[in-house]
Structure 1
């Protein structure tokens, strides 16, 4: 066996699902497409499989190969007949007794058939196809680990619905998103579709853990810009759960009288442990936010320019920044009570944050509502600005601090990734300082769970162009071109980038629940990289739990 055979062959397996009428009385049932491999293919002749194929050197990515193989093997066209639902974590598959010298790295995909009347046209690679209930895959003689491959992408209904919710959300920050992901994971325990193969085999403690782990993998990947916080929360819960599973399995193995009831009791122990770990993590996140608020408010309070006026600028609507500003206001209010009513005037300048203007529609009303309850007599003045006016604002209005959140803090550079507009605000502060104008300090407030290395494009999410059109009142050129009768083709792209990188050298201070970290003045512009790197190394151990998949 040479080196080429020892190296896993990179392949894709694409499953196509559709909903068909389940009875003449109405209702629908999900079905997944299986194809039987012909005797003309090189491997696993006569076995049932999904659409599959090996990645080629010229393929830009695995998704391209999946769409190509679907077109070749079924005649279905991507984005016309089918649409991508999700990709799963690759898994290693041995060739089994049929091909003992072969190993494969399989990247699974799940596609939705948009039109159930579409004509499936198989090619020479297959002899027949069937639409089956997903769980019935265990009744077929399939290529190795095909049921496990399907389970990577065909998820419990509650997880699927939760993923759709998080994907569509435009209001939650990273911290809130991680809390919601924890709740979705916990809620899946009561989902009757939690275990795909329940009618064929009993659920085991390890099965509960792996099902939850796979769900957590998808929950942490659904919003790339916020994956650091979500993955940290889920990783902590599942790392603790893994230890419980190991302990429960050892107890089962040492019990000579164990039976089906013993297994059921053990499964319930794992489920109960998950519920408790989620509750503990909720509390830990709340405590972390309180410590962060304290550190940030103390830093701002100690460094404000004048005793009688404090001016802050923020971007969009960060729940972390909101909590920090609320704490600052409460402290100023307490100070005024102690000085016979001589209060500091607090001005909060907010960039509206196109295209959905969360700064105006979310941040201002939320903070105003919370302060009306916690500090009802404290005067606060809000000023909402367009994103494009930030330089003019900084050149004409004294601002003490720019407070921005961070959905991710890069451990290798100290750069912060946050809502688009953050880098412009920080960069304009630097420009104003260079012009001799008193410039605000740029302060990033974020909990340490958001320290994470970049993956892919670094989480620079792009959203639908239609979000930009609302402000145009229909007066925009369609992105489809000039029309078939026009000899000149005109294409207009509307780029709706949601997140951007704020370079470390534009940041003066980073505040986390672990303390206040000032920029190192040694010419490098790095932000407390020792702290960032230390936290990242600690977290990588917890995130290693995802390697169990």
Structure 2
């Protein structure tokens, strides 16, 4: 197409842009669902007087498309992090408009463009929304690119009712970030968002199970499909998978994205084969992914057992050191629980004193101690003839504030991971960094910090600062205060924060134990690049023809 246009004297330019949609703080609170669109002025080169999102080219100075989105919002509306927050990301898509630009330099030249669009959905913060979910638009000031802004019905755009008034492909931009609130996908996303009990590994497994349910439901609803139908279904399914991987729980997105990307990579083989019963084959492939995940967890436990043997029990001349290993940890990690119990079960001479911080506000540390004692009971019922684990695992449970006392003579601080950055920084339960720093201080630097994690939690390249804090319901914190009433100025003067995760910089982490052994920071960088490449392959740019 580009060659044909050039032969006719025309030009076809490539342009990568961001497209930013704005929603109320509670996008699904009431019908009709609304979004804010902007009427383009006569001063712009493209799509004059059309309704549009905030949009603009990705510049060389923009490190990521998200950086470009924030910049365009600030330039065109003056809105920033004080007024709005990122709600969802959409996968990029591509389309061609052969008459995109008109009236350049007073001429009638038409310059076609191949647009690569990166959609984002932002929402106004709660303090700028009234009780009826109406947004105070006076907090923004529009630049020369727009006449005004107006609220529009989401369904009017998705149905095509007002598309003649809009910039091209707005319905696709919206479709990339909007999830039907009546859909199974919305239910799955909401379940993951509201789950404050399970860790990243378990949520990733839940996400894959959600994909299996979606395939099963769509198989039952479908009639006999042509190869073209299958391709369209796969693109729709890929979009659903993207939302589960990226938008369901961003703070735990590394594990969820890795699990889903690996699942789709294997399942795609059946799409390419154009088999008759594609739905069944895809479902079976996803089930196989679940089975493999269980095997990975077992391998992590085996590697941790080998780590303890090497660092603490192996002595010159083949002798064993029967010293009790003192370990401090916090929160509740299924990976750490399995690793400790496997190590004790595999080595009848191993003795551990496990010191657990309670982990406010949900006291997951107490839940962790409970789960450990329950699991020990099950193991000893099954293996009564062996040296009992209860005699070799002693648990001390204390408040988070006691870390300076509990950490004075520990050998190891063990942390899990919800995300590991390219540089080796570890995102884990809030309280991890104070525990690590305090134990380093009170032991004179002798303590070793070990991150036990599946390799799937290694994130694609990017800094820790690029990932937003997950601030949760303040009532989880306040419920423990037994404060029957609050002073009249409380809400005005007091802000209660309930941040679930924080970063432990790589400089404080001594070992990373995963299913493949102990990793170096160089190993982590390599794997980070690999997952980035695989993610780009699986969630490659969507083409408009795939939606038609």
Q: 2:193 aligns to what SS in structure 1?
A: helix
Tell me the residue number matched to 2:175. 151
1:79: how far off?
11
Tell me the residue number matched to 2:416. 405
Tell me the residue number matched to 1:358. 364
2:272 to 208, 228, 246: 246
2:121 to 109, 113, 138: 109
Tell me the residue number matched to 1:443. 450
For residues 172 and 128 of structure 1, the distance between their equivalents in structure 2, rounded to whole angstroms, comes to 38
Deviations 1:140-189 (A, max 9, x none): 54532222212202225222222222122211111111101111222223
Over 3 Å counting, the alpha-carbon distance change for 1:311 and 1:148 in structure 2 is same
Tell me the residue number matched to 2:396. 383
Q: 1:347 aligns to what SS in structure 2?
A: strand
For residues 125 and 504 of structure 1, the distance between their equivalents in structure 2, rounded to whole angstroms, comes to 48
For residues 525 and 82 of structure 2, the distance between their equivalents in structure 1, rounded to whole angstroms, comes to 42
* Structure 1 contact 479–493 (Cα < 8 Å) conserved: no
* Structure 1 contact 237–274 (Cα < 8 Å) conserved: no
Over 3 Å counting, the alpha-carbon distance change for 1:161 and 1:350 in structure 2 is same
Q: 1:12 aligns to what SS in structure 2?
A: strand
Over 3 Å counting, the alpha-carbon distance change for 1:469 and 1:533 in structure 2 is same
Q: 1:97 aligns to what SS in structure 2?
A: strand
Alignment of 1:120-199 (within 5 A): 132=155, 135-137=158-160, 140-141=163-164, 142-156=166-180, 157-191=183-217
Is structure 2 residue 246 aligned with structure 1 residue 221? yes
Tell me the residue number matched to 1:25. none
Alignment of 1:26-105 (within 5 A): 42=44, 43-44=46-47, 49=51, 51-52=53-54, 54=56, 62=69, 86-97=88-99, 99=101, 100-102=111-113, 105=117
Over 3 Å counting, the alpha-carbon distance change for 1:512 and 1:180 in structure 2 is same
Q: 2:292 aligns to what SS in structure 1?
A: helix
For residues 38 and 409 of structure 1, the distance between their equivalents in structure 2, rounded to whole angstroms, comes to 42
Alignment of 1:185-334 (within 5 A): 185-191=211-217, 204-222=229-247, 223-248=249-274, 265=276, 268-269=277-278, 271-304=279-312, 307=322, 309-332=324-347
* Structure 2 contact 119–177 (Cα < 8 Å) conserved: no
Q: Which stretches in structure 1 are left out of the alignment for 5+ residues?
A: 21-27, 73-77, 252-264, 337-343, 484-490, 518-527
Deviations 1:47-78 (A, max 9, x none): 6x565455899998736966998999xxxxx9
Name which structure has the greater RCO, CA cutoff 8 Å, separation 6+. 2
For residues 192 and 369 of structure 2, the distance between their equivalents in structure 1, rounded to whole angstroms, comes to 23
Alignment of 1:332-351 (within 5 A): 332=347, 335=348, 345-351=351-357
Tell me the residue number matched to 1:529. 521
Over 3 Å counting, the alpha-carbon distance change for 1:87 and 1:374 in structure 2 is same
* Structure 1 contact 429–440 (Cα < 8 Å) conserved: yes
For residues 130 and 443 of structure 1, the distance between their equivalents in structure 2, rounded to whole angstroms, comes to 51
* Structure 1 contact 353–359 (Cα < 8 Å) conserved: yes
Deviations 1:385-430 (A, max 9, x none): 22221122122xx43332211222233x333222122222222232
Tell me the residue number matched to 1:548. 541
Q: 1:497 aligns to what SS in structure 2?
A: coil
Alignment of 1:442-461 (within 5 A): 442-452=449-459, 453-454=461-462, 457-459=465-467, 461=469
Tell me the residue number matched to 1:262. none
* Structure 2 contact 200–255 (Cα < 8 Å) conserved: yes
* Structure 1 contact 209–241 (Cα < 8 Å) conserved: no
Tell me the residue number matched to 1:394. 407
Q: 2:414 aligns to what SS in structure 1?
A: strand
Q: 1:510 aligns to what SS in structure 2?
A: strand
Over 3 Å counting, the alpha-carbon distance change for 1:10 and 1:515 in structure 2 is closer
Deviations 1:9-29 (A, max 9, x none): 544244679779xxxxxxx97
For residues 325 and 58 of structure 2, the distance between their equivalents in structure 1, rounded to whole angstroms, comes to 59
Tell me the residue number matched to 1:75. none
* Structure 2 contact 344–351 (Cα < 8 Å) conserved: no
TM-score, normalised to structure 1's length? 0.72
1:139: how far off?
8.4
How many residues align? The count is 481
Q: 2:512 aligns to what SS in structure 1?
A: strand
For residues 153 and 417 of structure 2, the distance between their equivalents in structure 1, rounded to whole angstroms, comes to 48
* Structure 1 contact 477–492 (Cα < 8 Å) conserved: no
Tell me the residue number matched to 1:521. none
Tell me the residue number matched to 1:371. 376
CA-atom RMSD, angstroms? 4.6
Alignment of 1:465-544 (within 5 A): 465-474=474-483, 491-517=493-519, 528-544=520-536
* Structure 2 contact 266–285 (Cα < 8 Å) conserved: yes
